[in-house]
């Protein structure tokens, strides 16, 4: 008689611990996006996209139309099928936009290119600001990279839409259509992974870039499906807004597009600054506070010397939530009054466990009161590092 294999049961404590970690992670993402004003940056990027990248895409279509008119029409039809609106209306709008762009001439193209460069600059600044990067790339490298994106971006988009339309026009496409539907999401995932990995002027682990790209891709797919459902059920908007309904949806969709991309940046930052990393030593915290007490500001090079590879994570953590440090043009300063920043507060923020022989009065000492007497009192125990114990998931 065959023995029945016992049914495995999931430990409820493990499930509750997993849910607690998910809630904690989402809370960190929410605090990070509120700190960085993601919604405000998304609105600025949406406006810049509308006045720069959309005309440049139209210029690319016009350029293709001058050499291969039949290819331009196919590209427009492919773009229309990708957007969550009526394909006929989108195709007519894009065609009208392209015809009007032809009459603008090359000066308008140059102006659009300059505005597009400014848009790329904004994207670079926002992502590096989220990561708390103190120094940017040299201007010559940034300009070269922007020009390369400006040149290859419309071309790659044209090739992508042409390939998608060619694929959909094949007689065997219906047989492979279900397998080809995830292709736009796959392309977006790889593009976002590269964006999150190489745009920040700091070391970004692949795990963080992949996590941010996965989150942003899921949000973009949900946005696409949501707009499709909304447009199909909200046909009454055409009666209210008339021809402006498509423009309204375009504005909202561009804003939500950038909001999803910037939320992916926040996810990559949170994963890249995981609190399960080894915290800095207690002596390095004291060195930071002593430097702030003596000079009122700390240069980025000094922080790099004190914390080493942890400097980026330390700065990002001290800026999270109620910020303890604030950056000006050349150095880092306290964001709160010196009397409000204590040793215990900084240790709690960074997850540092003081040595057992640390005098209690030192933990309550503020930056304003930090003196040589306190330093001597902790000479025996402040130099020892102590790693925080692993978090108990049970």
Same domain, 231 and 292: no
Q: Which carries the bigger pLDDT value, residue 321 or residue 392?
A: 321
pLDDT at 206: 92
Selection from 144, 133, 119 nearest residue 56 by Cα: 119
251: in domain? yes
153: in domain? yes
pLDDT at 99: 60
Same domain, 190 and 126: yes
Strands 325-327 and 297-298: unpaired
Number of other residues whose CB lies within 10 A of the CB of residue 315: 22
Same domain, 38 and 164: yes
Mention every residue, 6+ apart, whose C-beta is less than 8 A from residue 151: none
CA–CA separation, 18 and 8 (whole Å): 18
Residue 308, classified by CB atoms within 10 Å of its CB into exposed (0-12), middle (13-18) or buried (19+), is exposed
Q: What crossing angle do the helices spanning 206-233 and 183-198 adopt, rounded to 10°?
A: 140
Same domain, 235 and 357: no
Same domain, 302 and 215: no
CA–CA separation, 373 and 287 (whole Å): 14
Same domain, 97 and 203: yes
pLDDT at 324: 81
Same domain, 176 and 253: yes
Token duo for residue 28: 């960190």
Residue 300, classified by CB atoms within 10 Å of its CB into exposed (0-12), middle (13-18) or buried (19+), is middle
Q: Which carries the bigger pLDDT value, residue 164 or residue 187?
A: 187
Answer whether 324's CB lies under 8 Å from 336's CB: yes
CA–CA separation, 326 and 334 (whole Å): 6
Same domain, 104 and 232: yes
3: in domain? no
CA–CA separation, 134 and 329 (whole Å): 9
Selection from 313, 216, 310, 308 nearest residue 272 by Cα: 313
Residue 116 CA neighbour count, 13 Å, CB half: 22
Q: Which carries the bigger pLDDT value, residue 152 or residue 94?
A: 152
The model's pLDDT over 197-234, given as tens digits with 9 standing for 90+, comes to 989 888 888 999 999 999 999 999 998 888 777 766 66
- Please tell me what DSSP assigns to residue 51: I
At 383, is the secondary structure helix, strand, or coil?
coil
Residue 347, classified by CB atoms within 10 Å of its CB into exposed (0-12), middle (13-18) or buried (19+), is buried
pLDDT at 53: 64
pLDDT at 3: 44
Domain with 39 in it: 20-272
CA–CA separation, 107 and 73 (whole Å): 25
Answer whether 260's CB lies under 8 Å from 268's CB: no
pLDDT at 368: 82
The model's pLDDT over 80-98, given as tens digits with 9 standing for 90+, comes to 555 545 555 555 665 666 5
The fraction of the chain above a pLDDT of 90, given in percent, is 12
Token duo for residue 18: 């997993």
Selection from 369, 383, 377, 379 nearest residue 292 by Cα: 369
The 297-298 sheet, strands edge to edge: 297-298, 332-334, 325-327
Same domain, 315 and 234: no
At 333, is the secondary structure helix, strand, or coil?
strand
CA–CA separation, 309 and 277 (whole Å): 12
The model's pLDDT over 47-68, given as tens digits with 9 standing for 90+, comes to 888 777 666 666 666 656 555 5
Same domain, 208 and 83: yes
Answer whether 132's CB lies under 8 Å from 315's CB: yes
Q: What is the DSSP string of 341-379?
A: -BHHHHHHHHT----TT--HHHHT-BTTT--HHHHHHTT
How many domains would you assign to the chain? 2
Token duo for residue 14: 């493990």
Answer whether 31's CB lies under 8 Å from 320's CB: yes
Give the confidence band of 263 by pLDDT, cuts at 50, 70, 90: very high
- Please tell me what DSSP assigns to residue 339: G
CATH number at residue 372: 1.10.10.10
Residue 76 CA neighbour count, 13 Å, CB half: 26
40: in domain? yes
Selection from 25, 40, 28, 23 nearest residue 321 by Cα: 28
């Amino acid at each position: 008689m065959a023995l029945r294999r016992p049914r495995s049961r999931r430990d409820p404590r493990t499930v509750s611990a997993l849910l607690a970690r998910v809630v904690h992670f989402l809370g960190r993402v929410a605090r990070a996006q509120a700190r960085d004003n993601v919604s405000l940056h998304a609105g600025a990027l949406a406006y810049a996209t509308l006045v720069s990248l959309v005309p440049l895409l139209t210029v690319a279509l016009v350029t293709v139309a001058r050499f291969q008119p039949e290819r331009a029409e196919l590209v427009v039809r492919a773009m229309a099928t990708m957007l969550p609106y009526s394909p006929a209306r989108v195709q007519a709008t894009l065609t009208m936009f392209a015809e009007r762009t032809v009459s603008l001439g090359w000066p308008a193209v140059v102006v659009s290119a300059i505005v597009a460069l400014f848009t790329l600059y904004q994207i670079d600044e926002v992502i590096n600001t989220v990561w708390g990067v103190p120094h940017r790339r040299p201007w010559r490298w940034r300009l070269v990279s922007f020009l390369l994106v400006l040149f290859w971006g419309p071309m790659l988009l044209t090739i992508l839409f042409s390939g998608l339309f060619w694929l959909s026009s094949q007689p065997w496409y219906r047989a492979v259509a279900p397998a080809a539907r995830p292709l736009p999401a796959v392309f977006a995932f790889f593009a976002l992974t590269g964006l999150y990995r190489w745009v920040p002027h700091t070391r970004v682990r692949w795990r963080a870039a992949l996590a941010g790209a996965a989150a942003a891709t899921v949000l973009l797919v949900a946005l696409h499906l949501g707009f499709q459902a909304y447009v199909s059920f909200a046909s009454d908007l055409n009666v209210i807004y008339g021809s402006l309904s498509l423009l309204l949806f375009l504005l909202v969709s561009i804003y939500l597009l950038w909001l999803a991309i910037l939320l992916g940046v926040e996810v990559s930052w949170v994963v890249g600054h995981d609190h399960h990393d080894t915290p800095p030593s207690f002596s390095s915290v004291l060195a930071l506070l002593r430097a702030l007490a003596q000079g009122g500001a700390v240069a980025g090079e000094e922080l790099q010397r004190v914390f080493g590879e942890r400097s980026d994570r330390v700065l990002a953590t001290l800026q999270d939530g109620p910020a303890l440090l604030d950056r000006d043009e050349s150095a880092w300063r306290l964001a709160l009054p010196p009397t409000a920043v204590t040793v215990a507060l900084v240790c709690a923020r960074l997850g540092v466990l003081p040595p057992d022989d640390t005098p209690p009065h030192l933990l309550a000492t503020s930056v304003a009161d930090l003196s040589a007497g306190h330093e001597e009192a902790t000479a025996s125990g402040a130099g020892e590092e102590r790693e925080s114990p692993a978090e108990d998931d049970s």
